[in-house]
Amino acid sequence: MQLRSIRRLLLCFIVLTLSVPSFAQGYRGTDFWLAFPQNAVVEGNKVLNTSLFIASEVRTKGTVTVGDSIIPFTVETGASIRIDLDTNIEIQSNGVTEKKAVHLVCDHDISLYAVSHRAASTDSYMAIPTEYLGTEYVIAGYTTLPNGLTGFTSQAVILATENNTIVTIKLVAPARTGQPAGRNVEFVLNKGETFQIKGSLLSGDLTGSSITSTKPVAVFTGHGCAQVPPTKRFCDMLLEEEPPANDWGKDYVLTKFSGKDYYVARVIAQEDSTKVFVNGIARGTLAKGTFLEIDSFHFDALIHASQPVLVAQYATSSEADTIKIGDPFMLLAVPSDRGLIELTTNSVTSGGFQHYLNIVVPDSGAKTLRVDGALIGTGQPPMGVTVESVRPFAPAKATILSLRVPEGRHMISCSAPVEVYSYGFGVGNEDYDSYGHACGMRLSK
């Protein structure tokens, strides 16, 4: 009888263990595939720069492969480096298969950030390791620039990591290649091949269009140059690498950006009958592939949904503010149950930018939050870091900190999982510019 009970307990343990998803500690990894969607257009001397920012906690060697070129690199312990890439890697085509992928491999885990920078049009993303890519995604874009000006619409790049990958896009809006809303776009990609799809010039907001594939792919989503809200100038590129649909969540904390009056958010549904609440107040019920847009968040907000959703947050155009700084960027919010206890971020531009971190800290870990080794709660932040604000946020039982930080690498750690967002606004010669991205989250395999 005793032996039988032990066997039952052992069986229960195995079942429970197998039913719990395995999570990665953030976006750190040794193998990455990246792409650079189109960033606005050449205007005067506004040339493009495409760059990688690599940070490592131990001495690391690796290579970046771009077409036929192989770039070796070394990162020293606790340091970061920048690698500038040939701008021919930018994907300007629409509905065409190309070999415009960037492949990075290295011998130890790194944190990897990519930035597409053109004067007055910049955005960035944190790269997802190859082993955590998936087969289901949804495009997160934004409204077509009014009257189809200069051809800026929603866009997405799909990148294959294996040969013979069949990809299907179900459109919720017309594509620029002529397919109407409701049509499926299907194509085959081989390893290292890319395919960019753009919305039509008049009604091409592809937000909510689903992407499915027979093998794991990387998806880079956004907009060529968006005004946020659509009636406010000026436009800026929107760019993020998306986590797979299995890593969406039900709860998110959105944080107000330093120096901006307000922000815009979209909540995109994965399933029908998805109820959405903002700070406890019901805001609507969504069908699969549809979204709720709130265009005037003047405050921090807790988003709760009855089923998993993807939440995109947008900084506004400069003319939307009383203090006219920056132009739009997009970041994808981190689900509240996917925070990290340690992560490394990089301020991903150089020159005339002011750089910020927004950190969501559970009350249980507020006294243990460290930035670059210094306990923030002591009132003595590390050199060069300024605490812009500390905002208790009761709906999430958390505190939100906005920090102004110097250019370069920063390490954040805490006894409780935190969500961290990196962003910046141009000043001086870089005025009317911005970037923003989440700094990683726990991913499921």
In a domain, 2, yes or no: no
Contact 332, 311 (CB under 8 A): yes
3-state secondary structure (DSSP) of residue 433: coil
What φ, ψ does residue 372 adopt, rounded to 5°?
55, 40
Does the N-terminal peptide bond of residue 234 adopt cis geometry, omega within 30 degrees of 0?
yes
In a domain, 12, yes or no: no
In a domain, 17, yes or no: no
Give CA–CA dist 16/19, Å, rounded: 5
Pairing of strands 443-444, 386-393: unpaired
3-state secondary structure (DSSP) of residue 16: helix
Closest by alpha carbon to 438, among 425, 424, 419? 419
- Domain residues for the domain of 216 are 23-444
Contact 155, 198 (CB under 8 A): yes
Closest by alpha carbon to 435, among 305, 347, 332? 347
Q: What is the pLDDT along the chain (445 residues), one digit of tens a residue?
A: 444 444 444 444 333 333 334 444 578 999 999 999 999 986 666 789 999 999 999 999 999 999 999 999 999 999 999 999 999 999 999 999 999 999 999 999 999 999 999 888 999 999 999 999 999 999 999 999 876 556 799 999 999 999 999 999 999 999 999 999 999 999 999 999 999 999 998 888 999 999 999 999 999 999 999 999 999 999 999 999 999 999 999 999 999 999 999 999 999 999 999 999 999 999 999 999 999 999 889 999 999 999 999 999 999 999 998 888 889 999 999 999 999 999 999 888 877 899 999 999 999 999 999 999 999 987 788 989 999 999 999 999 999 999 999 999 999 999 999 999 999 998 877 778 999 999 999 998 7
Give CA–CA dist 145/235, Å, rounded: 8
**pLDDT one-digit tens code per residue, 248-262:** 999 999 999 999 999
Within a 10 A sphere around the Cβ of 290, how many other Cβ atoms? 16
In a domain, 417, yes or no: yes
In a domain, 47, yes or no: yes
3-state secondary structure (DSSP) of residue 417: strand
Q: What is the value of pTM for the model shown?
A: 0.93
In a domain, 1, yes or no: no
Query: Structurally, how many domains does the chain consist of?
Result: 1
In a domain, 399, yes or no: yes
Give CA–CA dist 35/196, Å, rounded: 10
Give CA–CA dist 424/440, Å, rounded: 17
Give CA–CA dist 411/341, Å, rounded: 11
Token reading at 304:
């709760």
